[in-house]
């Protein structure tokens, strides 16, 4: 297992659409990649991570909406080619953060309930998600569509974020 580098906005990979995982890609190498993504997510620490965030433009997500809580409230999902097949009309609004856009908090409206389908290990899976897990998954699905919280932030927040990133990079290069 390995900790992968998490790309930060405005990295160009983060604005690209991820492609579906092909059937010939299913297997041990893909499972290893998902395991590495999960290890990276937990180490960050985070509750979700999409493949584009680690430079992989395939439709894959790992998430554990209960990360940071007691073990009994945690479930790790390894999702290949995830899609939302149903959405509630009822919406929920809350503050979100992102591993690829550190230092920004954005208020986002999401569907309260979603039904998703994906391939966990090559076998189709379908499940309903509500509240926090639904929010986490919708956030990660945004990454697969080439969208981050950076894109949802106000122009003021984006410019402050870019200034702080440039300052951090200048400090890092000065070492």
Please confirm, yes or no, whether 140 is among the known catalytic residues: yes
Sheet holding 48-50, edge to edge: 48-50, 60-63, 77-87, 113-119, 125-130
For every residue of 69-102, DSSP letters joined together read S-GGG---EEEEEEEEEEE-S-EEEEEE--TTST
Q: How many helices and strands in the chain, by DSSP H and E?
A: 4, 7
User: Alpha-carbon Rg of the chain, whole angstroms?
Assistant: 16
Contacts of 58 (CB under 8 A, 6+ apart): 18, 19, 20, 21, 25, 51
Catalytic residue among 5, 93, 123, 140: 140
Active-site residue set = 140
């Amino acid at each position: 297992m390995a900790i992968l580098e998490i790309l930060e906005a405005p990295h160009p990979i983060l604005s690209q659409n991820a492609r579906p995982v092909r059937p010939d890609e299913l297997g041990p190498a893909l499972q290893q990649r998902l395991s590495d993504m999960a290890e990276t997510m937990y180490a960050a620490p985070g509750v979700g991570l999409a493949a584009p965030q680690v430079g992989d433009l395939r439709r894959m997500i790992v998430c554990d909406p209960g990360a940071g809580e007691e073990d009994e409230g945690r479930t790790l999902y390894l999702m290949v080619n995830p899609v939302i097949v149903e959405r509630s009309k009822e919406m929920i609004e809350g503050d979100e953060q992102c591993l690829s856009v550190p230092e920004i908090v954005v208020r986002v409206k999401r569907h309260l309930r979603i039904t998703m389908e994906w391939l966990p290990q090559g076998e189709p899976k379908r499940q309903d998600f509500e509240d926090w897990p639904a929010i986490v998954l919708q956030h990660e699905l945004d990454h697969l569509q080439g969208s981050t919280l950076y894109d949802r932030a106000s122009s003021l927040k984006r410019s402050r974020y870019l200034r702080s990133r440039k300052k951090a990079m200048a400090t890092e290069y000065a070492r």
